[in-house]
Amino acid sequence: LADLKEVAQLTSWHPDYIEEKASFDRLAELVLKLERELFKVKRPKQLTRRDVHVTISAPIDISSFIQDYETDAHAFRHSFTEDLQKKVQAMVDRLVEKCEQH
């Protein structure tokens, strides 16, 4: 059972994650995952200096969505979550572009 769990963990990453937008960060992430999964290293050492960048978006007035939620809560949750994911990803992409310019 442990071997099956290990196989499941090792196959949980898709090649397109690295190929799609290869970066040192993604490759380092892959190395850390392999160390953790193959060599049972609980907390692999940090490979490089890490910086934290925080961006706070404009607040969202959830009350404006009450009617949509009451009409179809399931559909609303799905679309709202999808919209949030797109907004957060756009913020991350802008932040990455900004960092790469420096």
Q: Please write the tens of the pLDDT for every residue from 46-102.
A: 777 877 778 888 999 999 999 999 999 999 999 999 999 999 999 988 888 887 786
8 versus 67: which is more confidently predicted? 67
Tokens of 92: 């991350």
Report angle CA 27, 33, 39 to the nearest 5 degrees.
125
pTM (whole model) above 0.75: no
Give the containing element (helix H, strand E) for 8.
helix 2-10
Under a CB-based contact definition with an 8 Å cutoff, are residues 47 and 32 in contact? yes
